[in-house]
Structure 1
Amino acid sequence: MTTFVDRVELQVAAGNGGHGCASVHREKFKPLGGPDGGNGGRGGDVILVVDQDVTTLLDYHHHPHRKATNGQPGAGDNREGKNGKDLVLPVPDGTVVLDKNGEVLADLVGQGTQFVAGQGGRGGLGNAALASARRKAPGFALLGEPGEGRDIVLELKTVADVALVGYPSAGKSSLISVLSAAKPKIADYPFTTLVPNLGVVTAGSTVYTIADVPGLIPGASQGRGLGLEFLRHVERCEVLVHVLDTATLESDRDPVSDLDIIEEELAQYGGLDDRPRVVVLNKVDIPDGKDLADMIRPDLEERGYRVFEVSAVARQGLKELSYALADIVATARAAKPAQEATRIVIRPKAVDDAGFTVTKEADGLFRVRGEKPERWVRQTDFSNDEAVGYLADRLNRLGVEDALLKAGARAMDGVAIGSDEDAVVFDWEPSMSAGAEMLGRRGEDHRFEAPRPAAQRRRDRDAERDEAQGEYDGFSPF
């Protein structure tokens, strides 16, 4: 059974916003008390949060579909819908979030670091919120927006200061087990280590983490063996440690050629040229291993490597190695620039930014793109004529109709609002403003007009009676 997963494809979907409510307040002796439809609740977000207790992406490997809860719809009596609950997904420290095209969206390092992978939809406004002096009784409400949904890729890059690299069975797992409290699986056959192991080492006043990277063989950077799957785990390290086996039983191998092959694979992978290197000649407790180490050490030092002879089994040379790595890590940490305080960058909109664009496509279709027009379309109930008229008024006030005229649109030309996937397409009639004037003020209801004074009601009643009496007698007083 798989116990370690460092790359998964995840489908996230934020919650939809709740619909607004169209309602009229009613009570005894007051049948038409005005609009009282409440707003819909906001949909829940999908949030990735770094949790130090999580070390693998295994849970998302088994359950790759995650969805937050929807917002509840509004109700009468000005009752707002309940907001959807955010879905918090814990991820290991060092998780990189990418989109389906491989673009990096976030690099999550540090306990509590968050990234909103899916934004919840806004709740729709109820007719009480849409009421105004001109629109006293809206007969419609706005729909809730759909939540954001997308496919993302999570990749885990181990956060370690020191990375142990080398051939399988070179003794990396044994070395990490004696330098730290880690207890990796150890055996003498290739590919014993199938997952990166991480340990914490204390050397004097310096505490650093050390990881072994399994599966590096010739061709690893091109996907052979397991190396390509785990090379990403060395990207965050401060120092690379080549663990060379001086007592290998394979006749076609020797420590120097092993070093050259691993260096070639690291170069092919790229991005690691600036990391300091240390060479560890392991298994010197074996006589043949000690003789070979004495033979090749001068050659390695001539190349500029710092060389240590150790034996993980006999625990020889470990203290010198541990303190040497601590010095390199401490120097690298001191050389890093201090983290600057987070700056808030304010980018005001240009004075000529209308908030939308109108473009004419090759097939003659005019496409409107912009945050506001697209959001308004998503919130419109097209089965309600009054809601459609309200949308037309909003677009007209935003300047969409004027922009279409300037772009050369004529009557009955096709207009699309939004992207190809969710666009609303209609035949444009360049008389929205005139139509709005003919319809009068949308959303008004004469039943909610202010009551007339009693004297005025009596005069109107007498005038109606006189008019009716005159028509009955065969003449009209007018």
Structure 2
Amino acid sequence: MTTFVDRVELHVAAGNGGHGCASVHREKFKPLGGPDGGNGGRGGDVILVVDQSVTTLLDYHHSPHRKATNGKPGEGGNRSGKDGTDLVLPVPDGTVVLDRKGNVLADLIGQGTTFIAAQGGRGGLGNAALASARRKAPGFALLGEPGQTGDIVLELKTVADVALVGYPSAGKSSLISVLSAAKPKIADYPFTTLVPNLGVVTAGSTVYTIADVPGLIPGASQGKGLGLEFLRHVERCSVLVHVLDTAALESERDPVTDLDVIEAELAQYGGLDDRPRIVVLNKVDVPDGKDLADIIRPDLEARGYQVFDISAVAHLGLKELSFALAKIVGDARAAKPQQEATRIVIRPKAVDDAGFTVVAEDGSYRVLGEKPERWVHQTDFNNDEAVGYLADRLNRLGVEEELVKAGARAGDEVIIGPEDNAVVFDWEPTMNAGAEMLGRRGEDHRFEAPRPAAQRRREREAERDEAQEEFDSFNPF
């Protein structure tokens, strides 16, 4: 059964915003109390958070579909809908977030680091929020925006200071078990270690982490064995330790050739040329192993490697190795630039940025832009007044003017939004929409300012005189 997963594809969906409410306040002796529809609630976000207690992506391997809750719709009485609950997904330290094309979206390092993988939709405004001096009683509300959806890839790159690399059964698991408190599986057959093991080592005043990277064989960088799956775990390490088996039973292998093969695989993987290397000659407690170590040491030192003879089983040479690694790790930490305070980068829009573009296509015109596309999603197209409100917004933004400049004429097809999520309609310049009872879009004559008493009396007298004249014209007597 799989217990360690370091790469998953996650399908995330944020919550949709709740719809706004179109409501009119009703109370005894107040038949027209005005609009009181509340706003819809915000949809929940999908948030990735680094949690030190999480060491694998196994949970997301079994359940790759994750969705936040939707916002609640608004209600009458100026009651806003409840916001959706954010979905917080804990991930291991060192998780890299990528899109499906392989572009890095975030590199999550450090306890509590967060990344919003999908943002919830905004709630729609109720008719109370849409009311104005000109639009006293809107008969519509805005719909909630849909939440963001998409596929992301999570890759775990172990955050360790030292990486142990080498052939299977070279003694990496044994070495990490005696240097730290880690308890990896140890056996005398290849590919015993199927997952990276992580241990903490204390050498004097320096504390560092050490990782055992399994499965490196010839062709690992092209997918052979297990190496390709775990080579990413050496990327963050400050020093690479080649563990060479000086007591290998295979006659066709020797430690120097093993070193050359592993170095070739690391070069093929790329990005590790600047990491310092140390060579560890393991199993020198075996007589043949000690003799072979004495033979090959001058050659390795001539190449510039720092060489240590050890025996993980007999605990030989471990103290010298641990302190040498501590010095290299300490130097690497000191060489890193001091972390700067978080800076907020402000990128103002250009003064000539209209916020949208109009593109002429085959027999149609496509409008692209954040505002027009968002407004379309907020519109209830079953409500004529809401459609008229959308037309007013587009007109104020300058969409109609740009359509005219692009050559659009009445009746031409206009598309708002990208191909996969677009609204298509036949364009009517400065079109009028809304209920017949409205003089202008969103205005209700029932809420006009009160007239003087004398004017109302004259109007009533005129209505009576007109009714009397009509009666007299039909009276035969």
TM-score bracket, normalised by the shorter chain, equals: over 0.9
Q: Residue 434 of structure 1: CA displacement?
A: 11
Query: Could you give the per-residue CA deviations for residues 355-411 of structure 1, whole angstroms, max 9, x where no partner exists?
Result: 1011112x2321111110000000000111110010001000100000011111122
Contact preservation (8 Å) 1:359, 1:367: yes
Query: Partners of 1:400 and 1:406 in 2: how far apart?
Result: 10
Partner SS, residue 421 of structure 1: helix
Query: Partners of 2:406 and 2:459 in 1: how far apart?
Result: 53
Contact preservation (8 Å) 1:14, 1:118: yes
Tell me the amino acid that sits aligned with residue 463 of structure 2: E
Q: State the partner residue of 1:97.
A: 97
Query: Partners of 2:456 and 2:302 in 1: how far apart?
Result: 111
Contact preservation (8 Å) 2:213, 2:234: yes
Q: State the partner residue of 1:350.
A: 350
Contact preservation (8 Å) 1:40, 1:82: yes
Query: Could you give the per-residue CA deviations for residues 247-301 of structure 1, whole angstroms, max 9, x where no partner exists?
Result: 0111111100000000000000000000000000000000000000001000000
Q: Residue 433 of structure 1: CA displacement?
A: 7.3
Partner SS, residue 296 of structure 2: helix
Q: State the partner residue of 2:21.
A: 21
Residues 65 and 116 (structure 1 numbering): CA distance in 2 closer, same or farther, change over 3 Å?
same
Q: State the partner residue of 2:106.
A: 106
Q: Residue 462 of structure 1: CA displacement?
A: 1.7
Using the size of structure 1 for normalisation, the TM-score is 0.97
Query: Partners of 1:106 and 1:457 in 2: how far apart?
Result: 69
Q: State the partner residue of 2:171.
A: 171
Tell me the amino acid that sits aligned with residue 321 of structure 2: L
Contact preservation (8 Å) 1:166, 1:172: yes
The 5-angstrom pairing of residues 227-238 of structure 1 reads 227-238=227-238
User: What count of residue pairs does the alignment treat as equivalent?
Assistant: 474
Contact preservation (8 Å) 2:386, 2:434: no
- 339-348 or 74-83: which moved more? 339-348
Partner SS, residue 473 of structure 1: helix
Residues 357 and 433 (structure 1 numbering): CA distance in 2 closer, same or farther, change over 3 Å?
farther
Query: Partners of 1:54 and 1:22 in 2: how far apart?
Result: 46
Q: Residue 338 of structure 1: CA displacement?
A: 0.9
Q: State the partner residue of 1:63.
A: 63
Partner SS, residue 474 of structure 1: helix
Partner SS, residue 96 of structure 1: strand
Q: State the partner residue of 1:384.
A: 383
1:429 aligns with 2:428: yes
Tell me the amino acid that sits aligned with residue 391 of structure 2: A
Q: Residue 474 of structure 1: CA displacement?
A: 3.2
Query: Partners of 2:154 and 2:402 in 1: how far apart?
Result: 42
Query: Partners of 1:436 and 1:276 in 2: how far apart?
Result: 76
Q: State the partner residue of 2:470.
A: 471
Q: Residue 428 of structure 1: CA displacement?
A: 1.4
Question: Which structure 1 residue ranges, 5 or more long, are not aligned?
Answer: none
Query: Partners of 2:279 and 2:437 in 1: how far apart?
Result: 86
Contact preservation (8 Å) 2:384, 2:434: no
Q: Residue 432 of structure 1: CA displacement?
A: 3.0
Query: Partners of 1:228 and 1:403 in 2: how far apart?
Result: 53
Contact preservation (8 Å) 1:393, 1:433: no
Tell me the amino acid that sits aligned with residue 426 of structure 1: F
Query: Partners of 1:457 and 1:440 in 2: how far apart?
Result: 21
Contact preservation (8 Å) 2:434, 2:441: no
Query: Partners of 2:433 and 2:71 in 1: how far apart?
Result: 38
Contact preservation (8 Å) 1:139, 1:443: yes
Query: Partners of 1:425 and 1:457 in 2: how far apart?
Result: 48
Contact preservation (8 Å) 2:143, 2:380: yes
Q: CA RMSD in A?
A: 1.6
Contact preservation (8 Å) 1:247, 1:288: yes
Q: State the partner residue of 1:317.
A: 317
Query: Partners of 1:70 and 1:473 in 2: how far apart?
Result: 66
Q: State the partner residue of 1:82.
A: 82
Tell me the amino acid that sits aligned with residue 182 of structure 1: A
Q: State the partner residue of 1:221.
A: 221
Using the size of structure 2 for normalisation, the TM-score is 0.97
Tell me the amino acid that sits aligned with residue 50 of structure 1: V
Contact preservation (8 Å) 1:393, 1:436: no
User: Percent same amino acid among aligned pairs?
Assistant: 86
Q: Residue 92 of structure 1: CA displacement?
A: 0.1
Contact preservation (8 Å) 1:143, 1:378: yes
Contact preservation (8 Å) 1:136, 1:448: yes
Query: Partners of 2:431 and 2:411 in 1: how far apart?
Result: 13
Q: Residue 439 of structure 1: CA displacement?
A: 6.7
Q: Residue 351 of structure 1: CA displacement?
A: 1.1
Query: Partners of 2:29 and 2:180 in 1: how far apart?
Result: 81
Query: Partners of 1:439 and 1:40 in 2: how far apart?
Result: 26
Contact preservation (8 Å) 1:393, 1:432: no
Tell me the amino acid that sits aligned with residue 373 of structure 2: E
Contact preservation (8 Å) 2:438, 2:444: no
Q: Residue 107 of structure 1: CA displacement?
A: 0.4
Query: Partners of 1:470 and 1:413 in 2: how far apart?
Result: 52
Q: State the partner residue of 1:341.
A: 341
1:416 aligns with 2:415: yes
Contact preservation (8 Å) 1:396, 1:432: no
Q: Residue 453 of structure 1: CA displacement?
A: 4.2
Q: Residue 86 of structure 1: CA displacement?
A: 0.2
Tell me the amino acid that sits aligned with residue 129 of structure 2: A
Question: Which structure 2 residue ranges, 5 or more long, are not aligned?
Answer: none
Q: Residue 438 of structure 1: CA displacement?
A: 12
